[in-house]
Structures are given as structure tokens and as C-alpha cells.
Chain A
Amino acid sequence: MEDYIEILQRGEADIHFVHPDEFRKFVRDKKNRGLEDKLMDVKEAVKKYVKNGDYLAYDFSSLTRGPQSLIREIIRQRKKNLWVLAKFTLLETVLLAGAGCVDKIDVGFLGFGPYIARKVQEGAVKVYDYSNGSVTYRLVAGAMGIPFMPARDLLGTDTMKHSGGIVVRDPFSKIPVALFPALNPDVSVIHVQEADIYGNARVYGPTVATLETAMASKRVIISAERIVETIEFREHPNWTTVPYYCVDAVVHAPFGAYPGGTQGYYEMDSDHYLKLTSIKTEEEMQKYLEEYIYSVDSHEEFLEKRVGVKRLRELIQNSQILEGYR
């Protein structure tokens, strides 16, 4: 056996990469292991933990349990030069790009529609292509404190050429294998059904990469439909999705996933979703941002004045399946 690993191919993408020891030191020095109250207003959380130029990740999709109220607050505070992980996403990246918050996007799935496509075609945002699996493996490596994750995705494709992965000859099996660099986002925003004031968080339903995203990120903002007592976690420890010490801020955000749905609470608002996905021109986008984000001061005002109690009640009424979500 040779005493080196043969590199067969290198992807061309710039990567956001944090040395595992740098990340460990950040965790040692900056992550609070005390059971301290982290409940705060969404404005304060975003102001404190999302900085211009940050690498931003979020979990699940625009349709289900996406962190939409946190995304709207990031837009409202007009954060700039973000590098965004677009995994399994339809609306978040589109809105962030429309608001001029984003420079670069690592793509797993870059939905939705003509607006974001045009931004890429014009070169207004720079994209690096991966797949949903390979970006998830990047988060898994980041969450494990290791520099990369080997996997068999993207082999033989142009996606590999434009990703940040490399292909090596595996010293064990001798076959080519892809190595995906660990991803440690500066900040991640995650919406959950239940959290306590310390940041213990519980997700019902498929998780996508909730825990991996939280563990891999330097700063984590959790928004929750409901704030519950810590005893709820101690009674069912199997159901704790994210433990408190990964979390920096907890925001109480009923309807936090709107216009998407949250399982066990409310269904998605299809009309609002269609309104968003039918945006084509810059003018339409700016009109939407002004009406639904800039012109309201908070998530509460957005719900009151732009959505309304009647519509919210309908969305609750549409959410009648509770199996698995309680």
C-alpha cells in the first residue's frame, strides 16, 4: 500500500471551512453550558447572532417547519453578504436574494422558480452546486468535529466539478470515493414545535438535519411554536432533538413557519405560497418585500396586519392530523 492517499479529482468551488480545532475552541469558549434563560425577542436574537458576511444555514423546507419568521427578521434587519446553504429550500433563499442579503449559495436544491433562476443567470448571486445528500454530509462532518465526510455521491458528474468536494482513492477498498469538507456555519436558524427557555428543543415529524445543523453551527437561533417547561424534556428524553448547550437564543414564534405549515399546529397557506412562487420580476419582488416584511415591525404585526386572525384560524382548522405530533 502506498503511504499517501491519491487525489483523483478536485472540485472547483470556494468553500466555507473551519478547522476542527478552531471550532472546538469556539465551543469551549463561547458556547454556554449553564442552564441559563435564553428566551429573547426575535429582533434581539437576530441582531446579536447574525452578522453581515456570515455563513447561514437553516433546517427543513419552506413548506414544512421552515424558520420563516427568523428569515423575515434577517431581511428586515437588512443583513448583507451572507453565504447561504440552500438545502431542500423553496422560498428562503429566494427572499434573501430578493432583499439583497446574499452573495453566495451552496446549492442542494435551489427552488423555486423564475426569480432565483434569473438571479443566477445574471450572475447576481454566485452558486456552488452540491446535492441534498452531500451538503447534509458536510453538516454531519461539521457536527462530528471531523474535517470531512467520505461518501459515494456526485461521482462522475459535473456537480462534483463545481462542488467543494474532492475524489480520492480510498486506502481501504481502493475504489474512488468522494470527500466532502465539513461545514460549520456561522449561524443557523431552526424552527421547532417545542423548546424550553434553555434551548432544549423537540421536533415532531421528519427531521431533515435539525441536530446536525445545530451541532455544526457556531451560533444557533431556535424559534418555537410553544415554550414548554424543562420537565417535558426530562419526562421523554428520547424525544429531545437538540440539547440546550447547542443553542444560543430561543424565540417564541407561533406561526413561525408561515406561509409553510408546522405539523400538529397549522397547515401551509397555499394562496400565500403561490403568491410568492409566482414572483418573476424585480418590481414584484420589491413590492412583496415592502408589503410583507419591511412595512411591518415584527412577526406579530405581520400576522395581525398582513395575514389576519381569520386566515390563521383556517390554517389551524386545516391541521387535523395529530398522530405522531404529540
Chain B
Amino acid sequence: MEIEFTDTEFMICNAARLLEDNKTIFVGWGVPQVVAILAEKLYTPNIVQVFEFGAIGPQSRTPFLRGTMGGPSNTYRSLQWCSMNLAFSYAQVGYIDYGMLGAAQIDRYGNINSTMIGDDYSRPKVRFPGSGGGNEVASYCWKTIIVMAHEKRRFVERCDFITSPGHRMDGKTREEVGLPAETGPFRVITSKGMFGFDEETKELKLIGVLKGLTVDDVLDDMGIKPLVADEVVELSPPTPQELKTLREEIDPYGLIISKGAKFKVEL
């Protein structure tokens, strides 16, 4: 049997399998929230979503709608509605286990850029929306998961602009710059593989590749050379159940999951 899926569907499923039950997760609109909803439906029924604008533990309605972020469908039956100050304070004081973020660029230590491309801040080549709540998520959550399309130009030695912190920023550790201890990027999930960070050096390390791809397929598409784990695991493509849940229940309009290249894998 052959299974067909998009880059985004693979990343969402792979991320959803990483989460643990009875934990809190800081999510933003789009892929991160779809990951949390998929995990809640299939793997971790007691995962608690936290939104920056001030919603804790919603039972978000599906299908997932455009522009619903702070609206009734997405914040449905929350345990608490509060302020942004409080939502981030919950994270700063240590209550939020996971954070999930996208990135335009990432470097060897998991620093991410969502602000601008170019070398002149006052005249960027490309301007993005900036941090939003991303910096707080990357600074405060115990384990940050970064989800991004696997493209050569996105992996760089030094981000054009470090929006949110990784494990080392221009040579300094998180604790040296004052960030909360024992936090930082935990996994990077791309459309081709999965990375962790070396325990000693805190460098990006390839730990898994999508079934059907080789380690070299993944490395060839990167602007930097990451470490490679002694044993690189094979990552399963989305299961029929995951795809059915995504396509029929969560995102039947394909607002999120239809993005990216299509992929076929022989099961």
C-alpha cells in the first residue's frame, strides 16, 4: 500500500507523537495548534493548551477555522480566560512544559529567526512579523519544539537575526545570558527528519529521518552540517488514522495541512 501526504501533515503527525499526556503546551495559531489538537484526539487526551492572549485549557472546536485564534470556537470551554501578562507569567514561573514554534531560519544551536532576512536591520531584504509570543515560548517553556519546512536556506551558521534563543547565543549559554535554567530547544521537526541537541555541546543532531529517505538525502538539503546520531531512527509517515483525523475532523478545508510538497511512501 502506498500512502500520500504533504510535508505539513508529516510534521504535524511527527510532532504530535512526541508529546506526553498530562502536560501543558504553549501554542500559537497554525501548525502548533493543529499538533496539539491531533495529539489530544489520538495520543494525549489530557494535554492542556495555553494561548498567549490568555486562554488556558480550551477544548477547541473542530474543524479548525481561519482567523478563529481568540474567538469562541478556539477558546471553547477553557478552564481560564486571563490576560497575556498572566499567560506568559505561567510560563515564566515554570508551569508550561512544552512550547511549539515555527521558524524562518535556524542555526546550529537552535536559535531561530522570525524577524528579518538581510544584514541591515533598518532595510531588511525580507521582513517577517517578528517575535510575537515566540521569544517568550523559547525563553520560558521547559522543552521547546521547533517545526519547520526542510529547506537548505533555512539552516544557517548564524541566523540573520536571532529572534528567540536556542542553547548558545554567539558563544554564550542560556544560563550565562540569564535565561531560566534547564530550558531550551528539545526537538526540531522538519519535513524530512527530526533533530535533537547533543547533551555536551548542545549542537543540532540528526536523530531521525522520514521512511524512504537516507541520512544523506536529509543532510544534502541543509546549509550547515549537523551532528548525526550513532543510530538514526526511521520516522513513520502519517498513519491512515492520523490522516483521517487531520483531513476529516480537524482541517477539512486544508487551511494548514495542505501546505508543502506532496510525498508518497510505500508502506
Contacts and interface: CB of A to CB of B under 8 A. Distances in A.
Interface of A: 60-61, 63-65, 88, 107-112, 116-118, 120-123, 126-127, 129-134, 136-137, 140, 151-159, 162, 167, 175-178, 205-212, 260-261, 263-264, 267-268, 270, 273, 319, 321, 323-325
B20 interface: no
B76 to A, nearest CB: 7
A64 B68 CA distance: 8
Given A155-B177, A324-B81, A111 B66 contact: no
Nearest to A206: B54
B70 A65 contact: yes
Given A61-B69, A132-B133, A156 B162 contact: yes
A20 B162 CA distance: 32
Given A132-B132, A157-B135, 16 more contacts: A88-B84, A109-B131, A131-B131, A131-B136, A151-B92, A152-B180, A156-B165, A156-B177, A157-B164, A157-B165, A178-B178, A209-B84, A268-B71, A270-B67, A323-B76, A324-B78
Nearest to B132: A109
A157 B163 contact: yes
B83 A209 contact: yes
A-B pairs with the 4 shortest C-beta distances? Answer: A176-B178, A206-B54, A156-B177, A131-B131
Counting chain A CB atoms within 10 Å of each CB, which of B66, B82, B128, B130 scores highest? B130
A270 B81 contact: no
B70 A61 contact: yes
Interface in B109-141: 111, 115, 121-136, 139-140
Contacts of A64: 69-71
Contacts of B140: 152
What does DSSP make chain B's interface, helix, strand, loop or mixed? loop
Interface in B57-79: 66-73, 75-78
Nearest to A268: B67
B83 A261 contact: no
Contact of B178 (A122, A177, A324): A177
B135 A133 contact: yes
Contacts of B128: 117
